[in-house]
Amino acid sequence: MTNTLGRWLKPVTSLKLTVFCLACAMVLVFVGTLDQVHIGIYEAENRYFRSWFLFWTPPDTQLRIPWFPGGYIVGTLLLVNLIAAHLARFKLSWKKAGILFLHSGLILLLIGQLFADIFIDRESQMRLHQGQTKNYSESLYHDELAIIDTSGDDSDQVISVPDSQLYKGNRIALPADSLELVVNDFYPNSALVSPSKLPRPAYPHLQIGPMADAVQLERTYKEDDRNRPAATVSLLQNGKLIDTYSLAAAFPRPINFQAAGKSYQVVLRPKRFYKSFAIQLLEFRHDRYAGTDIAKNFSSRIRLVDPSQHEDRESLIFMNNPLRYRGYTFFQAGFDNNDTTTILQVAQNPSWLVPYISCALIVFGMLLQFGMHLVSFVRHRVIP
């Protein structure tokens, strides 16, 4: 039984496969890192590391030709190889103990990261002006078309249509009052210009307001910039047109409308992640080294209000000292508006403990293994 299993596992357990996978990983990391210069960290992460394949699109075509395994394939293969090798050759001996510890640490780390990768919301940001309170953070990269039912007494119902659904001609049935959304036009990135600044009157644009037209821009991958989509959408109820709206994420002002006797709003805005608690910025501080503009510290004094947990307290968020609350980590990421607005990055990482455990296992394993090598080396060293 063990024998057949062993034979069957042989190709998956080989060291050659290990070396091959590690080499693929190196190529992937190297190329992905270089490409970050052009497409930014986020996009490179999606294309190279959080993907099954790298795709090549020949110019002037829509083809997507896979030419190299992506991060998921390489990572999974390595994991399978590692686990299979240990299953096939498992022997409890002191000589192998170090390697066993080291590799179990690695397996744990890989699984933990894969889990974190698949099940966690991406990072988002919370921008707070002095005194402002928010119970949501906003995505850095994605937008949503929100249809908000404002007729409730103390809370709004929000229907969020992700930007991946917003493309020209798409019809989306909304889960309320038999509403339907039709995307008439969509610009993945746009800029607002005054109507008089259009190159010519017939230049393609969306009329956002009397003073602003949206014109299409190339998608941007710059780190300090984001895409600001614009769209023209029609809302229908039971197939009957309610109205058509031109919306721009660069100017996320909600537009009111009535449907089924209820007040609604429609808005195109950065995708929101609502929390069950709220944060208010009390004070932002930007300390500099004496006589210079070099930042010494940024800190945000905030108030945390969570009615469900009966929490209402102050906290200080500063460099290397984030606020951790209910699985979220809020860390000081930046500031704006002459030091009156704080930007908190919000991350969620339920498997945060895993790296600590795997680090301990790996260190212990390596010290054991290399320590034993060192002892035998010193004992048997040959002096020429």
Partner 1 sequence: MAPRREKPGPQVREFGSLPVLAGGRVMPMDSLARVSLSQWNHHGTYTRADRTVAEPSEGLLEILMMPERADSAKLFEASNPDILKILGSPNAQGFVLFSFTELKPYFDEIEKQAGLAERTEPESRNPFQRGIVKLRAGLRLYLELKNTIQAEDSRDFGKEIEAFGRAIQPGLNAVRNRVAGQPFSQQDFRRILVFTQRYKNLVQLKYASAIPNPQRAGQNDGWQHISEALLSAIRDGRVPYAATAYGRLIAGYRANDAVAFNAALRDYQGYLSKIIPEKLARPKLEFAFNQAQPFLQAMALYVAVLLFALFSWLLWPKTLSKTAVILLITAFLIHTAGLIVRMYLQGRPPVTNLYSSAIFVGWASVLLCIILERFYQNGIGSVCGAVIGFVTLLIAHNLQLDGDTLEMLRAVLDTNSWLATHVVGEALGYSAMFLAGLIGIIYVFRGVFTRSFDEATSRSLGRMMYGVVCFATLFSLVATILGGIWADQSWGRFWGWDPKENGALLIVLWNAIVLHARWGGLARERGLALMTVFGNVVTSFSWFGVNMLGVGLHSYGFMDRAFGPLIGFIVSQLTIIGVGLIPLKYWRGMQTRQIRTPPQSPATTCVPTDAH
Which CB contacts under 8 angstroms, 24+ apart, belong to 7-13? 9/84, 9/87, 9/88, 10/88, 12/80, 12/81, 12/84, 13/81, 13/84, 13/85, 13/87, 13/88, 13/89
- Region of 12-20, 51-59, 131-139, 308-316 interacting with partner 1 (CB under 8 A): 12-20
Q: Which of 52, 119, 203, 289 binds partner 1 (CB under 8 A)?
A: 289
Min. distance of Cβ 286 from partner 1 in angstroms?
9
Q: Which of 19, 173, 260, 375 binds partner 1 (CB under 8 A)?
A: 19
Smaller CB separation from partner 1, 173 or 353? 353
Q: Which of 23, 173, 211, 241 binds partner 1 (CB under 8 A)?
A: 23
Q: Which of 7, 8, 10, 26 binds partner 1 (CB under 8 A)?
A: 26
Helix residue ranges, H only, 45-69: none
Of 61-90, binders to partner 1 (CB under 8 A) are 85-86, 89
- Region of 54-62, 203-211, 233-241, 359-367 interacting with partner 1 (CB under 8 A): 359-367
Binding residue count for partner 1, defined by CB under 8 A: 75
Q: Which of 178, 184, 315, 329 binds partner 1 (CB under 8 A)?
A: 329
Q: Tell me if 138 contacts partner 1 by CB under 8 A.
A: no
Which residue do the tokens 């307001």 mark? 209
Of 109-128, binders to partner 1 (CB under 8 A) are 109, 113, 116, 123
Q: Tell me if 37 contacts partner 1 by CB under 8 A.
A: yes
Smaller CB separation from partner 1, 202 or 383? 383
Distance CA 164, CA 188 (A): 10
- Give the x/- contact pattern for partner 1 in 185-204, rule: CB under 8 A: --------------------
Which CB contacts under 8 angstroms, 24+ apart, belong to 200-206? 206/230, 206/231, 206/232, 206/246, 206/248
Residues 64 and 55 sit within 8 Å (Cβ to Cβ): yes
